Structure 1
Amino acid sequence: MKKPASPSRSGDISLKEGLEALVKAYRLQGKLNEVTVVSSWERVMGKAVALKTKEVYVNQGRLFVRLTSAPLKHELLMAKSRVAELINSEVGETVINEVIFL
């Protein structure tokens, strides 16, 4: 007859701790933050801006946003620093240093 598994083995770690160790070992935190920035664009900027957004990507700490509306682009150009603040606060650390609207 088998013994039931002991609930508290020495050396066991939680799934969260294991994933954090994996991310740290492979130095993936920067890429994960970039993916978080892109995926949270609609939530941070709202549905109206997201509908006029054609492409969003991050490269070397810069957020590139391609918009389909010239008036919206002009409006957001005036608030570039605020957009960066909103995105960085969503991620929880400074990921975006500059926002570039294309």
Structure 2
Amino acid sequence: MRRSNTQSLSDVLKEYIEKNRIERKLKEVDVVEGWEALLGKTIAHYTRNIYIRNRILYVEISSAVVKNELFLMREEICRRINQNAGVEIVERIVFK
């Protein structure tokens, strides 16, 4: 016997995410996971560690030359990250 108050799994998950306010954190995870897709395999090869804390994206780069190039492009990268996320996830980027 089927209940009349059934919901789709996607609706239940959306409700859970909104109720527990974890949507922003999920978008931050998407930003970190999408770093290679956004900047390419070459840049991702020189990237060691990426994380977001207090709306600041921290990126550890193993090459000084690549770090300098990314430093010059940081405003554009920040804009593209926020555009892909649909909301302002990152205010600034720090390269280590």
Specify the TM-score bucket, using the shorter chain as the normaliser.
over 0.9
Instruction: Name the counterpart of 2:36.
Output: 42
CA distance in 2, matches of 1:86, 1:37: 10
Encode CA deviations 1:51-88: one digit per residue, 9 max, x unaligned.
00010000011100000010111111111110111111
What SS does structure 2 have at the residue aligned with 1:100?
strand
**1:21 paired residue among 12, 15, 40:** 15
Alignment of 1:1-12 (within 5 A): 5-6=1-2, 10-12=4-6
CA distance in 1, matches of 2:4, 2:56: 44
Deviation at 1:10, TM superposition (A): 3.5
CA contact (8 A) 1:56 1:65 kept: yes
Identity of aligned residues (%): 31
Rg (Cα) greater in structure: 1
TM-score by length of 2: 0.92
Does residue 1:74 correspond to 2:92, yes or no? no
Q: Which moved more, 1:12-21 or 1:54-63?
A: 12-21
State which of 28, 41, 55 in structure 2 corresponds to 1:61.
55
**Alpha-carbon deviations, 1:38-59, whole Å to 9, x = none?**
0000000100000000100000
Number of aligned residue pairs: 96
> CA separation in 1, counterparts of 2:37 and 2:90?
16
Aligned AA for 1:14?
S
TM superposition shift of 1:91: 1.6
- Counterpart of 2:77 in structure 1 is 83
More helix by share: 2
Contiguous gaps of at least 5 residues in structure 2: none
Aligned CA-pair RMSD: 1.2
